[in-house]
Structure 1
Amino acid sequence: MRKERVLRFVGYAVFSLFSLFIALYLTFPIAAVAERLSFDLENRSKGALTLEIGDIDLAGITGVEAEEVRVGLGFTDPAIPLKIDELRVRFGLLALLLTNTDIQADAMVGAGKVEGVFRSEDKFAMSLGASWQNLDLNAPPILPSLAGVPLAGELSGQVELAWTRSLSKANGMLSFGFDDIELGAGEVFPGFKIGSPVGSGKISMGYEVKDGTALLSQYEQTSDGKGGQPALSLELVEARAKLNNDIRRTTFEACVKFKLEDAYLNKKENKDLKRAIDLLNLQFRKDPEGYFHAAFSGDFSFVRKLRLRKRLCKKTKK
């Protein structure tokens, strides 16, 4: 008899807890989650990024699904809205409404995919891990807008960062890969315009981040995928960036050397470009191998606020 009473009591307790959980789940303030996500993104980026969520709903026990998501990129001019086709976020729902944050997310952007994890153990210690594959450079045209010239191709990459209080103290790594990248017609550097698209094959680069400074650690350019020599030979020789919580205030300095192949320059449609190459000696330095060297620095406005220096590139000093 006593055993039956104990089992009955345990059953009532379990049922009550289960009912309470279901009630909390069904009445969870999901709108507050959307507001918290939007607030966190804008606050941590110092207004450089904004988030608009059209529809959001619970997905399973520890996640949400969202549609009609737009990220405002305030560091481009004009601002470019990034449309996310599908977004899934998983986290401890109650923890999100408190101090600590542990968020895992994956999103589909066109044919590309982005995955990421963001954690904050308290209001100061934070970490970010993210990867992205096959992102179309023109959907949306973020890099073309920053560079000021049309770009085609796909972008993949990875980031692992940890910091306390500010990104200016971050440590970790960054890597980027560009597949079948093509530079469209336009002004590449002040005073230097190209008339027809030029391919530069595949490019990969890596950075080591220490105390908020990202230093170039690896760079490679390979063929265009057809076994041929890229029309534009491009090497990033020097590169460093000083990270900042406000993306727009992230500063960089770099030096590249480049050379256009004769087969590309000898095309009929590029006759004006071939004549313009002779004028590059007035803007850039040229080495014995025929490569032009361009050193520049600025902030995240990139080409629009570019400061050029006429010198030969040297390997980045660590």
Structure 2
Amino acid sequence: MTEAVFRETTADPRTQAVPLSHLSLELGHLYMEDFEAGPHRLREHFARVRPWADAARAAAAARTGGRRPRISTCFLIDDYFTRFSSPAELVPLLLAEAERAGLGVDYLARESGCATAGKVPVAQAVAGRIVEEPPPGSYGLRPPAAQTGWLANGERSPVARAPQAMKTAAAWQPPRETAARRHSVFLDVELWSEDGDGHRTWSCPFLAAVWQLARLGLLRNEGEAVLEAHPHTADAFPDDWDELPALVRLTPRADPFAAYRTCSVLPNRFLPVEHAVRVILDQTEVDRAALRQVAERSAREDAAVPASVADRVSYVFYPGP
């Protein structure tokens, strides 16, 4: 006899799916000093970005086998570490210089949204998903990243200690990268810092890792998508950054913000930060349901993505200030 099984619908967790482009193309990730330098700095930046953006589009088209690729562009503004100017003054200047170079910005994001989006503590939630890779032969002597705020891609050098009486000091040992190829490129990343009151300030690499997860459509909070785009419908932009949504859709019919892959065109001073981003992504347990959704959809579209989240991220670094 077959027994009926009853289950409340609320017992099955639901993970919201998000629309996906083939490529999320970042046209800039600049800071206060870049904007303070004036319009010519932005003009120079977009002029250097243009040929690489065209190349990224061509590569995306090649991967889709001749079909029109869905490509969205985005730009990230730092309003987390320093508040400067206002959206009303800065955003029109930014868009005008991008247009001058023949580039359109579909989505504008505020970096503070990678820390907290509305009432969702995004960065804190991602930090809770960090699963450190224990280096081969380690014995748990290193405090966890959740305690120290530091994450490494291998084994640190042992801490030198004063030898006990009648014993010699331990010999110095170099740090070792876990996945080294012949020689190590060891990196120790600061995820956050805290002041005397326990207030946490997230690091630039950690927020950049959150930004990549958002662009890959892999951020969820209790199954709901995080950093959803709000359409810009007003005639002007607000005078205060807090009045601007964390993610704004500037182009009404833009392809989806999130994508199977990302590409960022950045000045080469960002290279150390983005190396740190890869270390973080490699040790972050991403929402499995979100990963499964992306895998199933990309398979249906014959647009396979790498199993490694970090390998879905690419860059072009140009020389410059």
Shared fold (TM-score greater than 0.5)? no
TM-score (norm 1): 0.23
* Higher share in helix: 2
* Higher share in strand: 1
Structure scoring higher RCO (CA < 8 A, sep ≥ 6) equals 2
Rg: which structure is higher? 1
TM-score (norm 2): 0.23
